[in-house]
Amino acid sequence: GRPRKLERIPLDLLFLLIERRGQLVTREEILERLWGKGVFLDVDNAINSAVRKLRRAVGDDPDAPRFVVTVPGKGYRFVAQIRRPKTGSTGRFRARGLDAMVGRERELSSLTSGLDETLAGHGRLVFLVSGEPGIGKTRLADEFAAVAEAKGFAVRIGHCFQEAVPFLPFVEMLERFVDCIAEPEQLRRQLAQEASELARLLPKLRRILPDLPPALDLPPLQARRHLFNCFFDFLARIATEQPTLMIVEDLHWADDSTLALLDHLAQRIAELPVMLLGTYRDAEIDVTRGLAKTLEDLLRGRIATRLKLKGLPRDDVATMLSRLSGKSASAEVVEEIFAETEGNPFFVEELFRHLDEENRLYDSTGEFHSSLKIAEFEVPESVRLVVARRLERLDETTRRMLATAATIGRFFSFELVEAASGTDGDSLMECIAEAEGAGLVYSLPESPKARFQFSHELVRQAVISRLSSALRQKLHLEVAEAIERTWSAGLEDYYSALAHHYSSSGNSLKALEYLQLAAQQAIQRSANAEAISHLNAAMQFLNALPETSERDRQELALQTMLGPALIATRGNGSPEVGAVYKRALQLGRQSGEDARLFPVLLGLRSFHLIRGELQPAFALGQQLLSLAEDARDPGLLLEAHQALGTSLLLFGKFAPALEHFEQALGLYHPKIHHVHLTYTLDPGILCLVRSAWLLEFLGYSDRTSKKMEEALVLGHRQSHAYSLAVAIVHMITISHFHRDWQKLQEQAETAIALCTEQGFGAILAQASTFRGCALAQQGKTEEGIAELRAGLDAQFATGAIMFRPWYLLYLGEAYGTAGRFKEALDAIAEAIAITERTGEREIEAELHRTKGDLMLRSSGVQPSRVVETEAEEFFRKSIEIARQQEARSFELRAVTSLCRLWKRQGKNAEARQRLAEIYNWFTEGFDTADLKDAKGLLDELSA
């Protein structure tokens, strides 16, 4: 039917009734929705007046209602059928004068075939539509959406914007899904177990479902993987109910997190009735590094198909002119406009409008001129100037409204424009109607509230370009303040928008506040790159402030937030991480606020530790303990003892290290300290597995097994996948020490499955390394070495030094098993050099013993006297180190190797006495390979 004009309140009432079609909407609900709580007004008259105006506008008779039925004493019910406009040619484009898309038949046919293949389950369907601004990417996507709806698809559309809000297009899709479900319990069922995780994307879910449990605490990269998996599971569930088309527009503005989730979904939707369509500008200046990488991955892997849109041919330009004007243009006119616009649809339309308004198109009979010489006219050189001319013809009030709307963004709501501009509802509706008539904006009929969109981003930019810097600042300030007033109860949904508007308004203090909040929200969403961007922007504002103690406290807070975000994106050992924590430490000490130093010291310690800088890490651990003791905080004491225990373990001081871990375990309570400060790793599990290592080294194998069992039980009970993965990898290390290769392989494959599912990349590399060890020791030497080498390359690529001697030892052993002795000895030599350079000595005794063993084996059946002497020196060195460390297990291995050499040299009595001395020390672990070997050699020496 024809358009109807409605005042603001009756219009909002219509939206409310349509949202709840067929349901009773009480007068109390109407009051709260339209006027809010605590408003003093004549309720009955106000509501009755709104209903009368609504009925008058839609031609409804209260005695024989077709639309709104009165439920006496209760409220109202909307009873008419709702026929949603197709997402394509109605609504969004009719305002611009084009009821149907012109051209693009081939591209639309390709996309439509994709829908049929999606329904038939023929695999992954991802299309990427590219082209210059105005070429018709959105129009094609919109027309295609209408086709998809007609085929029974649910169409979910999300947009990217220049402000680069993390995950925004997917948040938009999720928000529209949530807004269409009226009952909270129905929403709970639809979101199922993913609700808590999805609330990280859409905070208002927690306002709708306040009893949602917290999302899982995981290390940053794992948290992101878990979030992505939950979104995929949610998509899979709704797609099984109705096939789904997802459209992500303007990918050239997408943030890294959005691109990562897009790639994750694209890689996996082959198994779902889901089709994915993205649009982007393909000019080199518009393609970000992140988008370029995503495109390369998707296109090179043949996951996506690219459709590049070019200018329309002459015939289609002629069709456009005919539809815009209702007349046929001559070939000369078509050629002139084609040459001027190169067939760009948006440019064609804007040039047509300009020439039409300037009375340059038609002759005295109302028909097109037979020819047209655009060069002879005063035609603006750019589309932006064409739009600017059209803006000048609008009423001043409408231009002010458009300035406010353009400041808000490509999409804007009636509510926010009204609040920011101060224009009354009726006047604002007249302004919007004039802008719609000029083809500058159009309404979004699929939105449950009054929302509008600029007809093209170039239009919005043209509006913005007319504004002075001072006016832009003023408008950004007005929009920000309006958001704060209008949505004060749910500001967490607007942190990024508020950060953007206040940053552009010149209000540094407010910009700082919201940039920090937006960064924290981004971290919670695992959007660490965006968090870093917010925090760096906040630093720039902060640097402009005078140096005061309050300014330093703010910087300390920002630097403390920046550290973990950088660790997640650059790695613990990144120089940027070190610089951030060193600056934070300086600020913390200047402030004298010791309580705020603990996480800073912890982060800086982690930086030094991963880089193999053990002495600075140990010194920081001592400072942690001092702070924790002063604070008398059991949680901080737990962390400090764990930190010192790890440092002492690496130094090879096993007994003192064990004491610290035992003290930490004495402080640990699973419910209180689960996922404490150690970057979301359960400290109790870490202390148990490290204690198990130490007990093994010290010669208490049975106690080792008990500690490991405790760690696994705790890991399963806490349902914390990352901590469980860490426990399994530590257990694998013990199996390697026991040379139980079959068990090692089984454990490694368990860890690989868990890490693959959860996205634990670093631990996956370790588990793959161990599986390579197991294969190499079970006869599959070359296959095992290849997998071991690949795992090591993945680990070493991070730059991490800690525990590198262990992995080089494993590589040397595997090369030795394969008879590749030179490579084996080179690996051991590299490991020994690292221990000497860094002071990491927990495996030093075993390195020297292994080097002696490899030297003997590489010399054949009868090593020379020189080789035997040199090997004996390495065995003695290993024994000396093991005794200094009280490492009875390492000592047993080295003595066994030495005595085996002595037996070959005929020194049986001396060998028997030496071996018996260490063997008789043991009171447990007699079923381990080392003690069995020692017992077997003792028997041989006694024969």
Question: In this predicted model, which residue has the larger pLDDT, 94 or 387?
Answer: 387
pLDDT for 832: 96
pLDDT for 279: 92
In this structure, of 27-36, 234-243, 335-344, 416-425, the range with the lowest mean pLDDT score is 27-36
Question: In this predicted model, which residue has the larger pLDDT, 634 or 81?
Answer: 634
Q: What is the largest CA-CA distance in the chain?
A: 125
pLDDT at 679 > cutoff 50: no
pLDDT for 629: 92
pLDDT at 645 > cutoff 70: yes
pLDDT digits (tens, 9 = 90+) for 511-536: 999 999 999 988 888 788 888 999 99
pLDDT at 28 > cutoff 90: no
Angstrom distance (rounded) from CA 582 to CA 23 = 61
pLDDT for 448: 55
pLDDT at 355 > cutoff 70: yes
In this structure, of 74-78, 410-414, 605-609, 771-775, the range with the lowest mean pLDDT score is 74-78
pLDDT for 95: 38
pLDDT for 741: 95
Angstrom distance (rounded) from CA 78 to CA 700 = 77
In this structure, of 10-24, 125-139, 296-310, 809-823, the range with the lowest mean pLDDT score is 10-24
Angstrom distance (rounded) from CA 686 to CA 681 = 7
Who's near 633: CB < 8 A, 6+ residues apart? none
Half-sphere exposure of residue 710: CA atoms within 13 angstroms, side-chain side: 17
Query: One-letter amino acid identity for 875?
Result: F
> Of the candidates 313, 337, 339, which has an alpha carbon nearest to the alpha carbon of residue 325?
337
pLDDT digits (tens, 9 = 90+) for 127-156: 889 888 888 888 898 888 888 888 888 889
pLDDT for 596: 81
pLDDT at 544 > cutoff 50: yes
364's tokens? 């005295």
Who's near 21: CB < 8 A, 6+ residues apart? 78, 79, 80, 82
Rg of the chain on CA atoms, in Å: 35
* Model confidence band, residue 895 (pLDDT cutoffs 50, 70, 90): very high
Angle (nearest 5°) at CA 227 between 223 and 230: 140
Question: In this predicted model, which residue has the larger pLDDT, 219 or 773?
Answer: 773
> Of the candidates 326, 340, 338, which has an alpha carbon nearest to the alpha carbon of residue 368?
326
* Model confidence band, residue 267 (pLDDT cutoffs 50, 70, 90): confident
Angstrom distance (rounded) from CA 699 to CA 253 = 59
pLDDT at 910 > cutoff 90: yes
Give the H or E element holding residue 451: strand 451-454
| Cβ–Cβ under 8 Å, residues 357 and 340 | no
Beta strands 244-249 and 274-281, pairing class: parallel
In this structure, of 196-210, 349-363, 410-424, 583-597, the range with the lowest mean pLDDT score is 349-363
- Chain-centre distance for alpha carbon 610: 24
| Cβ–Cβ under 8 Å, residues 897 and 873 | no
| Cβ–Cβ under 8 Å, residues 709 and 689 | no
Return phi, psi of residue 675, to 5°.
55, 75
* Model confidence band, residue 878 (pLDDT cutoffs 50, 70, 90): very high
* Model confidence band, residue 384 (pLDDT cutoffs 50, 70, 90): low
pLDDT for 377: 58
pLDDT at 881 > cutoff 60: yes
* Model confidence band, residue 94 (pLDDT cutoffs 50, 70, 90): very low
Arithmetic mean of pLDDT, 322-335: 82
Arithmetic mean of pLDDT, 231-241: 88
Percent of the chain with pLDDT over 70: 91
| Cβ–Cβ under 8 Å, residues 161 and 102 | no
Question: In this predicted model, which residue has the larger pLDDT, 893 or 25?
Answer: 893
pLDDT at 124 > cutoff 70: no
Return phi, psi of residue 896, to 5°.
-60, -45
pLDDT at 449 > cutoff 80: no
Arithmetic mean of pLDDT, 70-92: 62
Mean pLDDT for the chain overall: 85
pLDDT for 547: 86
Distances (CA, A) of 453 to 107, 149, 353, 460, 870: 25, 21, 19, 9, 81
| Cβ–Cβ under 8 Å, residues 839 and 609 | no
Give the H or E element holding residue 683: helix 683-698
In SS3 terms, 175-210 reads as: HHHHHCCCCHHHHHHHHHHHHHHHCCCCCHHHHHCC
pLDDT digits (tens, 9 = 90+) for 388-440: 777 887 888 898 999 999 999 888 988 899 899 888 878 888 888 888 877 78
pLDDT at 37 > cutoff 60: no
- Residue with token string 């200094």: 884
pLDDT for 749: 94
| Cβ–Cβ under 8 Å, residues 804 and 785 | no
pLDDT for 845: 97
Arithmetic mean of pLDDT, 363-370: 76
Angstrom distance (rounded) from CA 301 to CA 308 = 18
Max mean pLDDT range (66-75, 279-288, 578-587) = 578-587
Beginning with the edge strand found earlier in the chain, give each strand of the sheet holding 451-454 in spatial order.
411-413, 451-454, 441-443
* Model confidence band, residue 35 (pLDDT cutoffs 50, 70, 90): low
pLDDT digits (tens, 9 = 90+) for 735-761: 999 999 999 999 999 999 888 877 777
Distances (CA, A) of 276 to 157, 255, 300: 10, 18, 17
Arithmetic mean of pLDDT, 274-291: 81
pLDDT at 663 > cutoff 60: yes
Angstrom distance (rounded) from CA 551 to CA 598 = 20
Give the H or E element holding residue 256: helix 256-268
* Model confidence band, residue 615 (pLDDT cutoffs 50, 70, 90): very high
| Cβ–Cβ under 8 Å, residues 518 and 541 | no
